[in-house]
Amino acid sequence: KHKHTHDISAGLQSSFGFDQFKGRQEEAIHSLLDGHDTFIIMPTGGGKSLCYQLPAMMLEGSAIIVSPLIALMKNQVDLVRGYSENENVAHFLNSSLNKSQIKTVRDDLTAGKTKLLYVAPETLTKQENIDFFKSIKISFFAVDEAHCISEWGHDFRPEYRRLREMMDMINPDLPVIALTATATPKVQSDIIKNLGLKDPNIYISSFNRKNLYYEIQPKVKLDQTIKSIVRFISQNKGKSGIIYTLNRKTTEELADILNANNIKAVAYHAGLDAKLRASRQDAFLKEDVQVIVATIAFGMGIDKPDIRFVIHYNVPKSIENYYQETGRAGRDGLEGKCILYYSHKDVAKLEHLMRDKPLSEREVGAQLINETLAFVETSVCRRKVLMHYFGEEWHDENCGQCDNCLNPKEKIEAKIEAVQVLKVV
């Protein structure tokens, strides 16, 4: 049935110590080992990394893994090294390394000791790196967080757009495996097109998060909203949670209010220096504080399995953002409450943030916001809307785990105002 002759179950056991594949890992790994372009769409925590890590260990040469965040790369390399006796099995190559470190990496690659090389997209844009990669044996390319290639995703990075060109320069015949937790069909087709995946085998897992409870409330008066947040958290003593806000300033203000109400909280945003960010993140992970009040700068790559609630103090800029951010709750499969407060003022703020962007980006942004509004204002099951949005078939009329299913209510009236706001764009 397969062209290749590798025993991947044995490899799974010997390289990673796992007994069984998760989800569609096995099929995806066969596909890649057979030399097919392969596209994996699996929610966060689904086990996407293994789909390139195991083939990389089994194939001759080194796999090049493109990853968007330098900060996460070291962590990923450490994880892989943890499975091996051989320190050189994984390396990363990015702008954080000095000359002698780069030489070590190159020497290990040339000597064939390194199976996985993590790179930033910028690394591939340098001609000297391309020349070097041409001189060694590469097994395949993996593009992690592949949604970064799409403007419709939640984390667009223009450098991703040049990956196909770079890969072609190195070797156009190598298979490519793309991985993402982004489920929207639009982003998926963008990935296939822009990465130039050739007739890829596509493996999609369900995006339903059964254990998450979704609730959306209008934000009528600020002090009432804050009171209800304080009440909610006080009723959930000892449970970790995230509050997402749009503005940096609001993170500080809310954290202060929580602390004044005997709830230990810290603020987190990109305007803080790296040390402070790291120490606050640590405080949250170690549960020295109960709540982290953050902008969306917080969360990517955070692996805290027992986050029990995610509160959106402002409306997120897309349904995709909402899904990714709420998705950080209940990773362990246990309780996860997701509460969103929205007002049309927030929508106007989102619009305002886009004011200097090119027209095409503003149009994309306005449509994403429109979809989000339809979602927050619907009286239909939240889960049903989410699953439809992600192109998943969904027949259950009552999930029993969202506000609309538990308390069917009249539709919130404010649509006209919303439409007016959106016309400004």
Interface contacts to ligand ADP, rule CB under 6 A:
18, 20-22, 25, 42, 44-50
- 303, 182, 321, 92: CA torsion to nearest 10: 50
- Contacts (CB under 5 A) with Zn ion, residues 363-382: 381
State the minimum distance, in angstroms, from the CB of residue 20 to ligand ADP: 6
In whole angstroms, give the CA distance from residue 292 to residue 243.
6
The 385-424 contact track toward Zn ion, x by CB under 5 A, reads --------------x--x--x-------------------
From ligand ADP, Zn ion, Mg ion, none, interface partner of 247 (C-beta below 5 to 8 A by class)? none
At its nearest, how many Å lie between ligand ADP and the CB of residue 76?
Answer: 8
22 binds, among Mg ion, ligand ADP, Zn ion, none (CB under 5 to 8 A by kind): ligand ADP
The interface partner of residue 239, options being ligand ADP, Zn ion, Mg ion, none and the CB cut-off 5 to 8 Å by kind, is none
Q: Does 383 bind Zn ion (CB under 5 A)?
A: yes
Bridge partners, residue 293, by sequence:
243, 267
How many angstroms from the chain centroid is the CA of residue 338? 17
Closest distance to Mg ion from the beta carbon of 114 (Å): 20
How many residues are there in the chain? 425
Which residues here bind Mg ion, judged by CB under 5 A? 48
Torsion of CA 224, 228, 229, 232, to 10 degrees: 170
- Among residues 30 and 48, whose Cβ is nearest to Mg ion? 48
Nearer to Zn ion, 167 or 399 (CB): 399
**Comparison of 112 and 408: residue with beta carbon closer to Zn ion:** 408
Residue closer to Mg ion, measured from CB, 328 or 344: 328
**Site for Zn ion contains 179 (CB under 5 A):** no
| Of 20, 75, 96, 83, nearest in space to 56 by CA | 83
The rounded distance, in Å, linking the Cα atoms of 211 and 310 is 13
Report the nearest approach of ligand ADP to the CB of residue 251 (Å). Answer: 25
CB of 396 to Zn ion, least distance (A): 8
Cβ of residue 374: shortest distance to Zn ion, in angstroms? Answer: 16
Residue whose CB is less far from Mg ion, 48 or 344: 48
Q: Which is nearer to Zn ion, 179 or 402 (CB)?
A: 402
User: What, of Zn ion, Mg ion, ligand ADP, none, does residue 308 touch, CB below 5 to 8 Å by kind?
Assistant: none
> Per-residue x/- mask for Zn ion, residues 324 to 363, rule CB under 5 A?
----------------------------------------
Question: Which CB atom, from 62 or from 180, has the smaller least distance to Mg ion?
Answer: 180
The rounded distance, in Å, linking the Cα atoms of 338 and 386 is: 13
| Residue 402 touches which member of Zn ion, ligand ADP, Mg ion, none, C-beta under 5-8 Å by kind | Zn ion
Q: What angle do CA 379, 365, 161 make, to 5 degrees?
A: 125
42 interface partner picked from ligand ADP, Zn ion, Mg ion, none, CB below 5 to 8 A per type: ligand ADP
Q: How far is the CB of 79 from ligand ADP (least distance, A)?
A: 8
Q: How far is the CB of 228 from Zn ion (least distance, A)?
A: 21
Among Zn ion, Mg ion, ligand ADP, none, residue 21 binds (CB under 5-8 Å by kind)? ligand ADP
In this structure, what are the phi and psi dihedrals at residue 149, rounded to the nearest 5 degrees?
-80, -15
399 binds, among Zn ion, Mg ion, ligand ADP, none (CB under 5 to 8 A by kind): Zn ion
Give contact residues for Zn ion (rule: CB under 5 A): 381, 383, 399, 402, 405
